Amino acid sequence: MKKYNIGIDLGGTKILAAILEEGTDKVLFEVKNKTKNEKGNERITEKLIETVESLLKKCKDEISEKSIMSIGVGCAGQVERGEGILVNAVNLDVRNMPVKKILEEKFGIKTYVGNDVEVATIGEMNFGAGRGFKDVVCVFVGTGIGSTIVKDGKIHFGASQSAGEIGHIIMDVNGRACSCGANGCLEAYASRSAIESRILGAIKKGRKSVITDLAPKLTSISSKHIKQSLKAHDEVVTHYVDEAISYLADGLATVMNFYNPELIILGGGLIQSVDEFYLKSVKLARAKSLPLPAEHTKFKKAELGDYSGVIGASMLMKTRGES
């Protein structure tokens, strides 16, 4: 009998859940729900359960629940892996949410929890851009900015299991407020949310932008909107995208100089949607780093797209040594 695993990507704007045949990167069924306007433990719990229920209903005619070995969840925030708790997810306003307990009690399927970029990295290392490399840093730029360190082929978690928070390296000690509560974090300067905030601020002050036509409600500016605005040579969007690129390049150069990885994988909505964002960030990071890492560090764009998270999450049971 074939065996299957469920992978879930729980992010700041969406929940994507998929079912995959064990040991493969082939998504057989998927369900997506928005989390953009959903906040707090109760609402996110409801959306998570609703998403898994919809996935199981979608595949029930072809896949028996008895053949589903595990659920893996990648969460956009800090996690306690042993107990499977989402400790803090600022973009979802979630604190100490017992994801493992919730899903195991509801569905009776063994559940594993990791950070969203951690699981995306697992996907990329096994089936995507990281194949064949041992020392890697994977950076995803989307609603926030997250990263994971791979050392000697294994994810390096650090003393408190929270290594790799590139989004919260300090760019300016007296800088912009970050959603984490600190000031001057990279995430407050180079994420899609940061660009969105800067563009909306400029429009409120009377600057003209095609964004008002592309996103007339001005409640959210997507990576797609940014791409379209750059194509139209919009001055406001171009200015703030270039500003974010400069800050991201500073962060990447810092990683290159400090950790000296073989490879940096860049992924996330902005990287995948806006080629200019990726290419300029890489070029500028090389220019800002020291000569040796500038010459030897390779860069690759994540290859699994929106599915890197669910593919990696579906492999959590295996990577935790329980398959």
Q: What is the domain count for the chain?
A: 2
User: Are 171 and 274 in a shared domain?
Assistant: yes
Q: Of 258, 269, 255, 5, which is closest to residue 117 (Cα–Cα)? A: 269
User: Are 107 and 151 in a shared domain?
Assistant: no
Tens of pLDDT, residue by residue over 37-95, are 788 999 999 999 999 999 999 999 999 999 999 999 999 888 999 999 999 988 888 99
For the chain, the straight-line distance linking the first and the last C-alpha, in angstroms and rounded, comes to 15
Residue 58 tokens read as 């979608």
User: Are 312 and 248 in a shared domain?
Assistant: no
Q: Which pLDDT value is given to residue 283?
A: 98
Q: How does residue 142 score in pLDDT terms, banded at 50, 70 and 90? A: confident
| 280 assigned to some structural domain | yes
| 266 assigned to some structural domain | yes
User: Are 174 and 294 in a shared domain?
Assistant: yes
User: Are 233 and 113 in a shared domain?
Assistant: no
User: Are 40 and 157 in a shared domain?
Assistant: no
Provide mean pLDDT across the span 232-253. Answer: 97
Where residue 107 sits, what CATH number does that domain have? 3.30.420.40
User: Are 90 and 161 in a shared domain?
Assistant: no
Residue that is written with structure tokens 């893996």 in the block: 72
User: Are 291 and 152 in a shared domain?
Assistant: yes
User: Are 89 and 75 in a shared domain?
Assistant: yes
User: Are 101 and 48 in a shared domain?
Assistant: yes
| 127 assigned to some structural domain | no
Alpha carbons 65 and 62: distance in angstroms, whole number? 10
pLDDT at residue 248 is higher than 90: yes
Helices (H), 171-234: 187-190, 192-204, 211-214, 223-231
pLDDT at residue 323 is higher than 70: no
Q: Which pLDDT value is given to residue 34?
A: 87
| 126 assigned to some structural domain | no
Alpha carbons 307 and 323: distance in angstroms, whole number? 22
User: Are 50 and 176 in a shared domain?
Assistant: no
Q: Which pLDDT value is given to residue 90?
A: 82
CB contact at 8 A, 274 and 88: no
DSSP string covering 252-306: HHHHHHHT--SEEEEESHHHHH-HHHHHHHHHHHHHHS-HHHHHH-EEEE-SSGG
Q: Which pLDDT value is given to residue 290?
A: 98
User: Are 193 and 290 in a shared domain?
Assistant: yes
Provide mean pLDDT across the span 245-267. Answer: 97
Angle in degrees, CA 99, 100, 104, rounded to 5:
120
- Residue 57 sits in which domain range? 4-121+307-319
Q: Which pLDDT value is given to residue 160?
A: 87
Of all residues in the chain, what percent carry a pLDDT higher than 70? 99
Task: Kindly report the number of other CB atoms within 10 A of residue 81's CB atom.
Answer: 16
pLDDT at residue 137 is higher than 90: yes
